Structure 1
Amino acid sequence: MRKNITLKIGIGALAGLLLTTSCTKDFIEKNTNPNENNFASPESLFAPALLSIVNNNLNRGFRINGELAQVSVTNSDSREIHRYEIRNSESNSSWQNWYVQLTNIRNVYTSAEETKQEGYETWQGMSLIIDAYVGSLLTDVYGDVPYSEANQGREGEVSPKFDRQQDVYKQLFEKLEKANELLKLNKVIPARAFNDDPIYPFSYSNGGTRTSAEHWRRFGNSLYLRLLLRTSGKSELGSVAKIKEIVETNSANYPIFENNNDNANFNFTNVVPFVTEFYNYRDLDFNGDKGYSEFFINTLLDLKDSRITKWATEATLGVYSGIQSGYKQGNVPELGSRMLLSLKTERLLGNIMNYSELQFILAEAAAKGYITGNVTDFYNRGIAASFQSWKAPLTADYFAQPIVKLAATDNLDTKMEKIHTQRYFAMLFTDFQQWTEIRRTGYPKLFVGPGVGNDGIYPTRLPFPASTISYNRTNYLEAVANMGGADDSKTKVWWNN
């Protein structure tokens, strides 16, 4: 097994490298064994690729999303992300990881298609969903990106064009539609591969009521709603009409999450290799120079929210406190509450998308009139699901608080503030989703510190990494021109314009 995984990483890394470095087609042809199958079995590729994606997202989300979304703040004066200062070097890790693993995910599809493995339609559907998930991360974080021509190093395409974000999203939607149709066939993957599904292992095998295909279908359609709502402010893709179709007019063809049992959560077993990014971190590296922000802690205290005990240490006995985001350089504060060390091995850190987030998506859609459901019911279910996941106490008193309760007299802005404050906490430790939704909606409203740079403009994207600027320069320059002429964190992506 170790040999297979090593081969997988080698092939994937080469393909990803070809995206951003110059190489020749002859090299690929001369170094390919004509007697060897180019693709490993789908089950041998899928879990290692997804593990790499999820853990890289934890690493980068911990560093970038956490500070931009004011979950955490570092007291290392040289790291300035919380001050809106983002170096180009911060872009490299996610870019490389997502493209390398996108190669492997696409190989899952090709392997299943070519070898006709038992349950291969299910493997194909699974790969299309993760392909769309990774594609959404790439375009939401960077803007226009290589997608239709990406990951074709074997075919000699080493300078892929950058697709405009609108076109990337169109492809994401097409892949999710195709995944829904493939998974509708409800083909059961072979028993020997049950454990190779890293999100919905076992299913029928341990007494579950759904096959992996049924679970994945609900995941794909729930992800579809996340991306449709993200683009609902633009008319080009018909996102609002599609939301209504999925939720109401054709819901039988688009099953979505029904409860926490459907959550798309990587199954961290805390047994190597399926351990979280932080499993082997020293305690000092995990929370030695990073604490929760004032915004994060004070919002939880204002809400009288018991989830604080699942996430944060007490700064002093019986007292929770945070530090100011965007503090002035040279005015380094003392850390207050920090992340609980138990989070290093917390299985919920494998979250890709959960039922709680879906309910807040539906609440926003209902508040804006995209669907006819009851806003309060969606909202309350979302809150309850998040508390249940974290095993945090929840009583009726929580919902009765004016700061929490959705009142009939609340205007849309107030509803959005409440919905997205709760969605913010439901998406904790979920890649870049908090930052992305803050960019899209402006909620929750964050504190602007006295030391922020970037002309006081909240960062709207990450700049492209130096590698692609150097090795795919012609297409890079075209992409920057299409996006407005500047490769910086003030340039808005298409759905945010």
Structure 2
Amino acid sequence: MKTTLKINYIAAAMAICLVSAGCVKNFVEINTNPNNSNTASPQSLIGPLLLSTLNNTLTRNFRINNELMQVTVTTADSREFHRYEIRPAESEYMWRNWYLALTNVRDIYTSAAAGQQPGYQTYQGISLILDAWISSLLTDMFGDVPYFDSNKGRDFIITAKFDAQPAIYADLFQKLDSANQLLKLGALPETDDVRALDPIYNTDPNLWRRFGNSLYLRLLLRVAHKEELDAIDKIKEMIDINPGEYPLFRSNADNAILLYTGQQPYITAFHTARDFDFNGDKGYAEFFINNLLTLNDPRLPILATQATLGVYSGMQSGYPRGSVPQRESTLHAPMKSNSRLGGNMMNYGELQLLLAEAALKGYIDKDPTAYYRNGVYAGVEFWDAEIDDTYFDNPAANFAEADTDNEKLKMIHFQKYLTLLFTDFQQWYEYRRTGALDLYRGPGLENNGQMPSRLNYPIIVQSLNKANYDAAVAAMGGDSINEKVWWQRQ
């Protein structure tokens, strides 16, 4: 009887832990033999963690983000994202995968701290940056989430409370500040084969530091309109007052991107898919194609097929039920193996456009036009295309002195929209923050024509962590897809 009860307890704990706030895969072994440590070396966790997380977000970028943000439109009439309809079951996939990733991220920090080897502070810094990256994805998707007590299955905290988004953001900023100082201490005394276990930066602390600070700016700008965290003061410190203490990306060579090699294990989530499975039930949206045509943008032929000879055209987003339009331009089938597809965490083009917005709004004492142009050049270069200054003769790209700040902000954000292609949910997050894209409004929009503001909490969390779920919903004001997260509220 005692054995049965113990097994049932562990099984129940496993189930709750998985869906409530970040379980560990070897939960039973760890919790039945506390004297046996299964902690992996920090360097061995980085590659698998990045590959899994990026591929998981890529599949949902295609499924959800691209449909909401009118990059693509599905021909599957029952898939309603482009109509602003999101079914509750959609929440579970990213919730589960992001929390599982956080277990490994925090194990990197713990293992590095316990290793007591010279230079292991580099792995602690990397862990803090990855923690801020994944945790920001979670809170920007859902709002208040388990954070401070999440991923503590080893301590039998299996129904973690939900934390308020301002407190989460404040802690993310502390982690990025700490990472900046840890990585400042210098390189690891590692061999080439050990450094190569990091597929992003080859364990270069200086490049990780540049990524951490660039990510810091992304998150600071996201909450700059909220007074609680003094984000504008921090942005000014990083750019105007003490830039030497906060190195940033210098070019596309510094991008935080996993460049897929096409060889195992570094292949995209779609690498082995049939062409139809990759591209057969979707086409590019009118908004995407029409804006690139207006700009005469050289990325268009790289990203899209011609609908008919010499003609690019897109599908209507938000079409009515039962009226599926004909596919027009599509993704090139070979893109499923493109080294840049889905491996982008953050790039130089995005950073420059963040700085352009900060300068335009007066947060920093810099020229927004120079940042804007740098961002456009970098975004085009990212896809191995080229432009020259004549690109900016086009009124849609000009950023002229006579343009209003609102017109300039829209130009910044459309170019950022392009730099964020196939990058988790950043296009959607940025649109929710600014509304600075003139997305088309299809005749079949549901949800009262309102862009969803978040995903609802997973259904299974609602049942297995009910007390904390109820408290979170009360604090948020509801659990609908239209409930605005903290930084969306004015």
Deviation of 1:27 after TM superposition, in Å, equals: 5.7
Counterpart position of 1:139: 139
Alpha-carbon spacing, 1:195–1:410, altered in 2? closer, same or farther (3 Å): same
Structure 1 residue runs of 4+, over 6 Å off? none
- Alignment-mate amino acid for residue 246 of structure 1: M
- Alignment-mate amino acid for residue 197 of structure 1: D
Does residue 467 of structure 1 match 2:475?
Answer: no
Counterpart position of 2:11: none
Does residue 186 of structure 1 match 2:186?
Answer: yes
How many Å separate the matches in 2 of 1:33 and 1:255? 42
Counterpart position of 1:232: 224
Counterpart position of 1:40: 40
Indicate if the aligned counterparts of 2:22 and 2:96 stay in contact, CA closer than 8 A.
Answer: no
Deviation of 1:22 after TM superposition, in Å, equals: 11
How many Å separate the matches in 1 of 2:244 and 2:176? 16
Does residue 312 of structure 1 match 2:297?
Answer: no
Counterpart position of 2:199: 198
1:403-442 map, 5 Å: 403-442=396-435
How many Å separate the matches in 2 of 1:68 and 1:117? 47
Query: SS of the residue aligned with 1:348?
Result: coil
The alignment's C-alpha RMSD in Å is 1.8
Counterpart position of 2:113: 113
Indicate if the aligned counterparts of 1:16 and 1:99 stay in contact, CA closer than 8 A.
Answer: no
Counterpart position of 2:476: 483
- Alignment-mate amino acid for residue 486 of structure 2: W
Indicate if the aligned counterparts of 2:19 and 2:460 stay in contact, CA closer than 8 A.
Answer: no
Counterpart position of 2:260: 268
Does residue 19 of structure 1 match 2:54?
Answer: no
How many Å separate the matches in 1 of 2:215 and 2:110? 22
Deviation of 1:386 after TM superposition, in Å, equals: 1.2
Please list the CA deviations of residues 221-277 of structure 1 after superposition, one character each: whole Å capped at 9, or x if unmatched.
000000000001100000000000011101111111111111000132211111111
Deviation of 1:18 after TM superposition, in Å, equals: 6.3
Indicate if the aligned counterparts of 1:122 and 1:189 stay in contact, CA closer than 8 A.
Answer: no
How many Å separate the matches in 1 of 2:312 and 2:246? 43
How many Å separate the matches in 2 of 1:189 and 1:110? 19
Indicate if the aligned counterparts of 2:17 and 2:158 stay in contact, CA closer than 8 A.
Answer: no
How many Å separate the matches in 2 of 1:421 and 1:358? 14
How many Å separate the matches in 1 of 2:105 and 2:325? 44
Report the more deviating stretch, 471-480 or 361-370.
471-480
Indicate if the aligned counterparts of 1:232 and 1:239 stay in contact, CA closer than 8 A.
Answer: yes
How many Å separate the matches in 2 of 1:16 and 1:394? 51
Deviation of 1:29 after TM superposition, in Å, equals: 6.2
Deviation of 1:395 after TM superposition, in Å, equals: 2.3
Alpha-carbon spacing, 1:195–1:449, altered in 2? closer, same or farther (3 Å): same
Give the structure-2-normalised TM-score.
0.94
Query: SS of the residue aligned with 2:229?
Result: coil
How many Å separate the matches in 1 of 2:16 and 2:78? 34
How many Å separate the matches in 1 of 2:336 and 2:22? 35
Please list the CA deviations of residues 34-53 of structure 1 after superposition, one character each: whole Å capped at 9, or x if unmatched.
2x323100111111011111
Indicate if the aligned counterparts of 1:75 and 1:333 stay in contact, CA closer than 8 A.
Answer: yes
Which consecutive residues of structure 2, in runs of 5 or more, have no partner in the other structure? 1-13
- Alignment-mate amino acid for residue 267 of structure 1: L
Query: SS of the residue aligned with 1:319?
Result: coil
Counterpart position of 2:58: 58
Please list the CA deviations of residues 392-419 of structure 1 after superposition, one character each: whole Å capped at 9, or x if unmatched.
1312221111110111122111111000
Deviation of 1:118 after TM superposition, in Å, equals: 4.7
Alpha-carbon spacing, 1:292–1:326, altered in 2? closer, same or farther (3 Å): same
How many Å separate the matches in 1 of 2:426 and 2:224? 16
How many Å separate the matches in 1 of 2:29 and 2:260? 36
Which consecutive residues of structure 1, in runs of 5 or more, have no partner in the other structure? 1-12, 202-210
Please list the CA deviations of residues 413-471 of structure 1 after superposition, one character each: whole Å capped at 9, or x if unmatched.
11110000100001101000001101100021211111111111111001111121111
Counterpart position of 1:249: 241
Deviation of 1:19 after TM superposition, in Å, equals: 3.3
Indicate if the aligned counterparts of 1:118 and 1:190 stay in contact, CA closer than 8 A.
Answer: no
Deviation of 1:188 after TM superposition, in Å, equals: 2.2
Counterpart position of 2:167: 167
- Alignment-mate amino acid for residue 373 of structure 1: K
Counterpart position of 2:72: 72
How many Å separate the matches in 2 of 1:493 and 1:155? 30
- Alignment-mate amino acid for residue 200 of structure 1: Y
Indicate if the aligned counterparts of 1:138 and 1:145 stay in contact, CA closer than 8 A.
Answer: yes
Does residue 343 of structure 1 match 2:343?
Answer: no
Counterpart position of 1:353: 346
- Alignment-mate amino acid for residue 74 of structure 1: T
Does residue 86 of structure 1 match 2:83?
Answer: no
How many Å separate the matches in 2 of 1:137 and 1:400? 37
How many Å separate the matches in 2 of 1:376 and 1:39? 49
Q: Number of residue pairs matched?
A: 472
- Alignment-mate amino acid for residue 53 of structure 1: T
How many Å separate the matches in 1 of 2:214 and 2:16? 30
Please list the CA deviations of residues 28-82 of structure 1 after superposition, one character each: whole Å capped at 9, or x if unmatched.
6652262x32310011111101111100010011111000111010011000000
Query: SS of the residue aligned with 1:291?
Result: strand
Give the structure-1-normalised TM-score.
0.92
- Alignment-mate amino acid for residue 70 of structure 2: Q
How many Å separate the matches in 2 of 1:439 and 1:170? 20
